[in-house]
Amino acid sequence: MVADARRNGESLVILTGAGISADSGVPTFRAADGLWEGHRVEDVATPEAFARDPALVHAFYNARRAHLAAVEPNAAHLALAELERRWPGDFLLVTQNVDDLHERAGSKRLIHMHGELKKGWCLACDARSPWTAPMGQGARCQFCAATGTVRPDIVWFGEMPYDMERIDEAVRNCDLFVSIGTSGAVYPAAGFVQTARYVGAHCVELNLEPSQGSIFFHETRMGRASDIVPAWVDELLA
Ligand code: APR
């Protein structure tokens, strides 16, 4: 069935989450203790947290940004980049991840719906700029030169994910929808499978364990992303 999709040049949408980067050494969000690298989500990943304690929020994201230098794309990221190069139809990779491992693997048609660790967002002039250094309360916007107005370009809880119109159109027009390494706990991403299924797409889940929306998929394959994603891509391109 999947090989038929490729032969027919069909439209493919892939959604990824933290699980695809887990094998690279990037921690996932929903650890057994309910904490995210030792913090409650509401203390580091909400606009209210940033207003209350910007130093803590900056320190949290500075640590995660710095950690990117210590990790590399794994076989799953590389396989998706190869799939994009060889897929004959429309292709869109939507990631909830804020790391840069997809682009470092070579992915191009990529949307970071929850923002990017390596970008800053100036609340004074609304510009997004590349950001690799630590960010602090005195950060200076490279566009408008304001200081103290730059925040991590991360979509926090309670904020609208990016590029939703483009994503929605791609999901509504896809023939094959694949979800990789996401728990299906956070909307709107968790609802993409329902839209894809409604429009008749074949829906595949690749994850370590069944996600919260597992029942919506026609096909589920369980295992580590760095094993099962390359195997699935090989099958699709065979
Ligand atoms: N290979 C495949 N899947 C894995 C692996 C692995 N090596 N390790 C973990 N997983 C799976 C887990 O079983 C889980 O289902 O990846 C999923 C990760 O789930 P979450 O930690 O909830 O991450 P994600 O779904 O990306 O979170 C969505 O929530 O906190 C917010 O904005 C944040 O983008 C994030 C969003």
- DSSP character string of 30-66: --TTS-BTTB-HHHHSSHHHHHH-HHHHHHHHHHHHH
Question: pLDDT tens digits, residue range 178-187?
Answer: 999 999 999 9
Specify the ligand 1 atom closest to the Cα of 211.
Answer: 15
Whether 29 is in the pocket of ligand 1, judged by its Cβ within 6 Å, is yes
Cα three-residue angle 76-79-81, rounded to 5 degrees: 115
Q: What is the DSSP letter of 1?
A: -
- Cis ω on the peptide bond leading into residue 188 (within 30° of 0)? yes
Give the pLDDT of residue 8: 63
Whether 195 is in the pocket of ligand 1, judged by its Cβ within 6 Å, is no
Specify the ligand 1 atom closest to the Cα of 182.
Answer: 25
Ligand 1 centre and the CA of 77: distance in Å?
Answer: 15
Nearest to 63 by CA among 117, 9, 143: 117
Tell me the catalytic residues: 114
Ligand 1 centre and the CA of 172: distance in Å?
Answer: 24
Would residue 4 be called left, alpha or beta, if left means φ above 0 and alpha means ψ between -120 and 50 degrees?
alpha
Specify the ligand 1 atom closest to the Cα of 97.
Answer: 34
Number of Cβ within a 10 Å radius of residue 151:
19
Give the pLDDT of residue 5: 60
- Cis ω on the peptide bond leading into residue 47 (within 30° of 0)? no
CA distances from 92 to 26, 46, 122, 188 (A): 23, 28, 28, 17
Sign of the dihedral through C-alpha 192, 197, 202, 204: positive
Ligand 1 centre and the CA of 96: distance in Å?
Answer: 9
| 0.85 exceeded by pTM | yes
- Terminal Cα-to-Cα distance of the chain (whole angstroms): 12
Alpha-carbon distance of 217 to 202, in angstroms, equals 8
For atom 29 of ligand 1, which residue has the closest CA?
Answer: 186
Alpha-carbon distance of 31 to 25, in angstroms, equals 14
Nearest to 71 by CA among 30, 108, 101, 102: 101
Specify the ligand 1 atom closest to the Cα of 36.
Answer: 30
Give the pLDDT of residue 135: 97
Whether 99 is in the pocket of ligand 1, judged by its Cβ within 6 Å, is no
Give the pLDDT of residue 17: 98
- The burial of 73, by beta-carbon neighbours within 10 Å (0-12 exposed, 13-18 middle, 19 or more buried), is given as buried
Segments of the chain with pLDDT less than 70 = 1-9, 31-34
**Size (the chain), residues:** 238
Whether 114 is in the pocket of ligand 1, judged by its Cβ within 6 Å, is yes
Alpha-carbon distance of 47 to 196, in angstroms, equals 31
Whether 232 is in the pocket of ligand 1, judged by its Cβ within 6 Å, is no
